[in-house]
Amino acid sequence: MLDLAQAGLPHDRVRVEVDRSDFHRGVEVEASNDAKSWMPGRTRTIFQVPGEQSLAISYPEQHERYLRLRIFNGDNRPCPCCASTWKR
């Protein structure tokens, strides 16, 4: 979860940083003004394989204070991006 410190700041993209592990996961970005009621957002896939990666999720501009990234690991080991940082 990311707290932008105040509502009203425009945001439209999240990028995760990961270690060098190969992975492929579905993710969803959610937004909230109170960190309790979450609005579903964009569902995308992030991945990293030798020579290629896609680690950013773009979405229509929003202004909510909080963002949350849900990672769908399924039957796979936890994604190496679980402890990653968020970037605007």
pLDDT in tens, 10-46: 999 999 888 878 899 999 999 999 999 999 888 999 9
**CA pseudo-torsion sign 74, 49, 52, 16:** positive
> pTM of the predicted model, to two decimals?
0.77
Q: Quote the DSSP letter at residue 34.
A: S
Instruction: Give the confidence band of 88 by pLDDT, cuts at 50, 70, 90.
Output: very low
Output the pLDDT for position 81.
Answer: 63
With a cut of 70, say whether residue 76 has pLDDT above it: yes
Within 33-88, strands assigned E span: 43-49, 52-54, 56-62, 66-72, 86-87
Domain boundaries, the chain: 2-75
- What is the pLDDT at residue 84? 42
Q: Is the pLDDT of residue 75 over 50?
A: yes
